[in-house]
Each structure stands twice: as C-alpha cells, then as structure tokens.
Amino acid sequence: MAINTPLGDTLDGFIESLYAGKSALSNWHSLDASRIYSKVGADLGEYDLEAKVQSLEGKIPAQVWKRLRKLHVKLPWSTKITTTMAVDAFADAGLFTRPFDASRVGVIVTGHNINVNYDFDNRTQFDEAPDYIDALYGLQTLDTDHAAAVSEALGVYGPVYTIGAACASGNLGLRNALDELRHHDIDVMVVVGPVFDWSPVMLHGMALLGAISFNAFIDEPARASRPYDTRREGFVPAHGGGAIVLEKRAATTSAGVRHYGQVIAAEATSSGSHLPTPSAQWQAEAMRRALAVSSVAPSQIDFVSAHATSTPQGDLSELQAIETVFGEHASALAINAPKCMLGHTCWSAPVVELVAAVLQMQRGKIHRTINIDELDPHVRLDVTAQANRELSIGYLMKNSFGFGGINCVSIVKAPEQGERR
C-alpha cells in the first residue's frame, strides 16, 4: 500500500497522525479562494513531491526511478502524485525484488475529471493567449493519462484503465481488480486513488449545491469536518490519495509474501437517482450483497470504516442502513469516520480510507472520531466518539457512497497469523 495526504506520505506517519487525532484541514492556500465560498480544505498544493521522489532512490530499481523522474518533467501535478504512489505501493509489495510477468500486471485509476484545476488553469490561459496553453493539454487533461503514466512508470503491460463512480470510485476499482484477478488471468492489480485536483469553479459549484461546509469554522478549519455532530453542515473537500496492490492469495502464499489483508468482497448497487440524495435502502443492499458474496455473517464484522461525510442527511442514512443489515449486532460494531480528520478526498476516499482501516486492523487499534462536541441524538450506534480503542479485527467493512446514488461496499479479512505483514 501507499498513501499521500496532508497527514503523511508514509504508512507509519499516516496512521500515527490519525491516532494522534490530527486534522489535515486548513484554509486553502494553494488556490485562490477569494471569489468562492469554500475557504477550508485539506491542501496538498505545497507538498514537496521532489523530496518524496528522492526518498525512493535506492529503494526501487534505478530504471524505474529514472522513468519516474522523466515522466515528472511534463506530467500535471496530480498525475505526478499518482505515479509516485503506484511506485511506492509496488515497492511495498516487494514486487521489485521478485520475478513477475509484466504482461499480467494491470492498473486501475479510480476517479474521473481528476485534473480539474489543471484544466481550469489551461482554460484561463486559453482566454488570455490560446497558443500558450500546455502543449500536452489535449492528452494530459484525460483521466486515462493517469493510468497510462502508471503503466509506463512501472513498466507493466496488462489491462490499464480508469473507473469513474464519484465517491465510490475506489471501491468500484477494487471490485474490478478482483474480477481481473479471478477471471482474466491477471496476476497483480495496482489500484490507485488519485488526488482530486480541486479547482475554484468546482469548489464553488459544490458550495452552490449545498454539499460542502462553508459557513461555520472558517477561522477554525480543523473543526470543520464533524461527522455525527449536531453542527455538521456538509463535507469538507480534501486533497489525498492512496494506492493498493492486489495479488492472488495462493501466489503470495507460495512465494512466502506476507500481506496486510485479503479483499474478499466488493459489491455495488445504485439508488436509481442522479441527485446527491442518499438511500439507506440501497446502501443496505450493497452491504448485504458484500456479506453474502463473502459468506461472512453480520456478527463476524468487527469494524466498519464509515463513509460518514459530515452531511446532515448522509451520516444518518448510513447508520440507518447499518442498523437494518446488522440488527442486534449493530450495537456491538465499532464504527469510526476517517473524514473527521482527512476531509473528503472524493474519488480516492475508499482507497485512502481502506489503507487507514487496514493499518488499524494490523495494529489492533482504531482511531476515534474527532470533533463530536454534541452527538446527534439520532445516532444510536457506537461511533468511537471518545477515544482510540484497542480492537482485535477479524473482518472489516469499508463503505463508500457516491453522488448519483452509486453505492459500493468492500470487506477485508485479516491475514492468518503466519501471513501478517
């Protein structure tokens, strides 16, 4: 796995920041927010990507490092981070130090309209002087350029594509990766949740839609994302990305490779509406299907990493769906809301938050949900509002629900004792 958020660009640093209750949120500083309502977000715009790339030298093959450096000369900002995370995750899987068939390694990048700020800047430049837009704009504005750049950086030749499903994109990417491994004779799939490059116009559009928080906590940005709290008013937009490498369990076992966990289900439904209105009915059905496909009983799930975006309706809809599916066991579930600290990384959220969930499973401790000053009285389940908690996790569920009524739920099983990372 690999990660890149304002809370950290290493797995250890990232999880320790979550345990410490740190917030990734600040006032926007890398884009001009003077004309828009949105003032708060998780901002990676001043992140030192060059230092991260330099840190990989010697940890990855020299030819891969050189390809990465060469690609970064021209790639847009978000695509540079995408390629870096993919290489970082590939190294974490030990794939640079053991043989693999490059024609049977695939790449899925999860999201759409990813480089919207790059697009915005070039359109602004076009209005001023058309000939001075980026010479590669016609190629690099395409979402597929992310996936293609990853395949070039890694030197792999299997299936390469993008999956667009709004804020459920990451889990849909896992779903497709499972299909590639199970049904298409692929050995390895790299699933990358890219950093959504927010533009001022996209942020303003979300504010006009009433989806994001922009009235309260402008002067206290760390408090703006507050799932389950009575003062929540909308999600807080965020930069952040992650990458996950999936392989067939039999192959890793025979090679003696230790892993973080086993993805045993990723199931999806639609609410049948293009409006951003959550449906507890179809969220619940996605959870049921994931449990059925994985042959896991509701009582076996120990931990739910909630979608919980900090919207008044969405937070309660998800909890209602959980109560419907889990029945009496719902009160015994441990639930937390990573967006309280990360903000909403949108297309990459399921990947970013699954990385966090798996790290919590590995360490046997879940982080608390911060910023719950006054718990919504309609919240009847345990949302880990008080403190981090020691928890032995055998199975975890990661929920993701996207605009347009796109619901996708994944389940991860902890590795057996001898297979643990």
* Average pLDDT estimate for 344-372: 98
pLDDT of residue 416: 87
Domain boundaries in the chain?
Answer: 2-254, 262-419
Res 220 pLDDT > 80: yes
Q: Considering only CA atoms, which of 235, 241, 245, 254 is closest in space to residue 193?
A: 241
Q: How many CB atoms lie under 10 A from the CB of residue 289?
A: 18
In CATH terms, the fold of domain 262-419 is: Peroxisomal Thiolase; Chain A, domain 1 (3.40.47)
- 93, amino acid identity: A
For domain 2-254, the CATH superfamily is Thiolase/Chalcone synthase (3.40.47.10)
* Average pLDDT estimate for 244-272: 92
pTM of this structure: 0.97
Look at the chain and count its residues. Answer: 421
User: Same CATH fold, 262-419 and 2-254?
Assistant: yes
pLDDT tens digit sequence for 297-309: 999 999 999 999 9
The answer to whether the CB of 164 falls within 8 A of the CB of 116 is no
Phi first, then psi: give them for residue 259, nearest 5 degrees: -135, 170
pLDDT of residue 276: 80
Res 370 pLDDT > 80: yes
Res 107 pLDDT > 90: yes
Instruction: Out of 70-79, 246-255, 264-273, 287-296, pick the least confident.
Output: 246-255
The continuous run of DSSP H or E covering 397 comes out as strand 395-402
303-305 and 40-42 as β-strands: parallel, antiparallel, unpaired? unpaired
Residue with tokens 């693999």: 100
Residue with tokens 């003032």: 39
Angle (CA) 238-242-246 rounded to 5° is 150
